[in-house]
């Protein structure tokens, strides 16, 4: 057996290719399609709050929530054809003005809201009223009814993160409008935070959810900040990203939603994280702070409320060159990659695969002590 050495003329091959084209068939040997490593069309990019806020306010002057199902500005990666910030996930800015509602609907795409401005508005998810305050994370997972309302005297503005590009690519999207504009708030059912917000404690009388998303739809900033500050005081943290916490599903210990993992990270004054990359795209929101990130060799300067994106398999490192802590929220499609056995990560200058052996080695080298998540996956040390 050996490789064959069949020869043909250029004219013969071109004639054959033309026949194939007419029959909608493509010879794979001239089409490419497999790359040595992931190469995203998306580019590293930052959207500054100083640009975003005035445009959100302008949108509120031009378009009502009667005309726009959602008054949303999509952050658009300059190199992506699909009008999204990253390959599989959108990052949008949504504004709801005083007295306005955004009517109830549901869809296959999963969504998160990271509140940027305004305190006292609320989101209703499957009848539960969730408060919204700056820095809070609110989930509206796939196929949950959700509507928003602003009963305050100032604008409510938040970051929307959704997996809609992924759902569209999979051709799996459904959408439905509620039979009235707003849901009736279910009194006496108990808030998701009261039932699931205490971390290690969960209500015994609640049946295990049939859905894979977190039943805790509201993660207050006050709780996350306190946890991060406790860890900072304890000089804890991982070798790659320092002090970073994942918002987990309190029932499974896994990601908040099957398609999107969410994180919050504290960069202490003067801190610089280690450059690393992973097979997942990541969108960041600067809850507060000032600094910069080196993403694929590009410096992205950021400050309070900016948004920036890191394409897949692109080295990123974060620098807080200010004299106050910085808090970064981020969300990634890592759960999708892990579910499909496509996930990899590495630190610059050395493979860091997240295995317990590698993690233990890195922990010993850095003097850090990092725990395992309940599903056995790597904890913060191996975070994407
Ligand atoms: Fe929605």
For residue 41, the CA-to-ligand 1 centroid distance in Å is: 27
Q: Is the pLDDT of residue 31 over 80?
A: no
Ligand 1 centroid distance, CA of 70 (Å): 8
Rounded Cα gap, residues 319 and 258, in angstroms: 30
> Is the pLDDT score of 360 beyond 50?
no
Query: What is the 146 CA–ligand 1 centroid distance (Å)?
Result: 7
Per-residue confidence (pLDDT) for residue 188, from 0 to 100: 65
Is residue 314 within 8 A of residue 38, CB to CB? The reply is no
The average pLDDT across 321-348 equals 97
**pLDDT over threshold 60, residue 353:** no
Q: What separation in Å is there between the alpha carbon of 320 and the centre of ligand 1?
A: 34
Q: What phi and psi values does residue 285 have, to the nearest 5 degrees?
A: -130, 130
What are the CA-CA distances from residue 214 to residues 1, 196, 335 (Å)? 56, 9, 13
Q: How far is the CA of 156 from the centre of ligand 1 (A)?
A: 16
pLDDT value at residue 293: 98
Express each pLDDT in 228-280 by its tens digit: 999 999 999 999 999 999 999 999 999 999 999 999 999 999 999 999 999 99
Task: List beta partners, residue 276.
Answer: 316, 347
Q: Across residues 379-383, what is the average pLDDT?
A: 37
CA of 109 to the centre of ligand 1 (A): 8
CA–centroid distance, 100 to ligand 1, in Å, is 16
Around Cβ 350, how many Cβ atoms within 10 Å? 11
How far is ligand 1, taken at its centre, from the CA of residue 119, in Å? 20
Site of tokens 């959704």: 162
Question: In angstroms, what is the span from residue 79 Cα to ligand 1's centroid?
Answer: 26
Residues 6+ apart with CB under 8 A from 273: 240, 241, 242, 267, 317, 318, 319
Q: Where are the alpha helices (DSSP H) in 48-205?
A: 49-62, 164-169, 192-196
- Does the pLDDT value for residue 364 go beyond 60? no
Ligand 1: centre distance to CA 137 (Å): 15
pLDDT classification of 372: cutoffs 50, 70, 90: very low
> What's the CA-to-centroid distance between 289 and ligand 1, angstroms?
29
Tens of pLDDT, residues 88-124: 999 999 999 999 999 999 999 999 999 999 988 999 9
* Other CB atoms within 10 Å distance of the CB of residue 317: 17
Inform me whether the pLDDT recorded for 343 exceeds 80.
Answer: yes
| Cα 107 to middle of ligand 1, angstroms | 6
Residue 245 CA to ligand 1 centre (angstroms): 26
Calculate how far, in angstroms, residue 143's C-alpha sits from the geometric centre of ligand 1.
9
Task: Look at residue 132 in the predicted model and tell me its pLDDT.
Answer: 95
């Amino acid at each position: 057996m050996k490789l064959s050495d069949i020869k043909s003329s250029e004219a013969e091959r071109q004639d054959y290719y033309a026949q194939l084209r007419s029959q909608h068939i493509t010879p794979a040997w001239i089409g490419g399609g497999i790359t040595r490593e992931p190469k995203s069309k998306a580019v590293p990019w930052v959207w500054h709050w100083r640009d975003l806020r005035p445009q959100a306010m302008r949108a509120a002057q031009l378009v009502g929530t009667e005309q726009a199902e959602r008054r949303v500005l999509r952050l658009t990666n300059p190199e992506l054809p699909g009008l999204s910030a990253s390959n599989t996930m959108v990052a949008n800015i949504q504004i709801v003005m005083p007295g306005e509602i955004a009517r109830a609907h549901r869809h296959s795409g999963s969504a998160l809201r990271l509140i940027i401005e305004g305190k006292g508005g609320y989101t209703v998810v499957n009848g539960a009223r969730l408060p919204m305050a700056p820095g809070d994370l609110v989930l509206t997972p796939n196929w949950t009814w959700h509507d928003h309302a602003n009963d305050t005297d100032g604008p409510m503005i938040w970051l929307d993160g959704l997996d809609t590009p992924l759902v569209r690519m999979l051709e799996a999207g459904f959408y439905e409008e509620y039979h009235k504009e707003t849901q009736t708030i279910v009194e006496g059912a108990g808030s998701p935070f009261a039932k699931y917000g205490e971390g290690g404690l969960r209500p015994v009388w609640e049946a295990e959810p049939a859905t894979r998303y977190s039943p805790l739809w509201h993660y207050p900033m006050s709780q996350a900040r306190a946890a991060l500050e406790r860890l900072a005081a304890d000089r804890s943290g991982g070798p790659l990203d320092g002090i970073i916490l994942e918002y987990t599903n309190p029932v499974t210990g896994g990601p908040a939603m099957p398609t999107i993992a969410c994180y919050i990270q504290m960069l202490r004054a003067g801190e610089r994280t280690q450059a690393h990359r992973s097979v997942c795209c990541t969108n960041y929101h600067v809850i507060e702070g000032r600094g910069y990130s080196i993403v694929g060799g590009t410096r992205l300067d950021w400050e309070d409320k900016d948004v920036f994106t890191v394409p897949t398999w692109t080295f990123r490192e974060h620098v807080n060159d200010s004299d106050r802590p910085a808090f970064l929220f981020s969300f990634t499609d890592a759960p999708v990659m892990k579910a499909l056995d496509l996930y990899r990560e590495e630190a610059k200058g050395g493979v860091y695969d997240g295995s317990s052996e590698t993690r233990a080695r890195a922990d010993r080298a850095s003097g850090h002590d990092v725990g395992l998540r309940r599903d056995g996956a790597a904890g913060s040390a191996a975070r994407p």
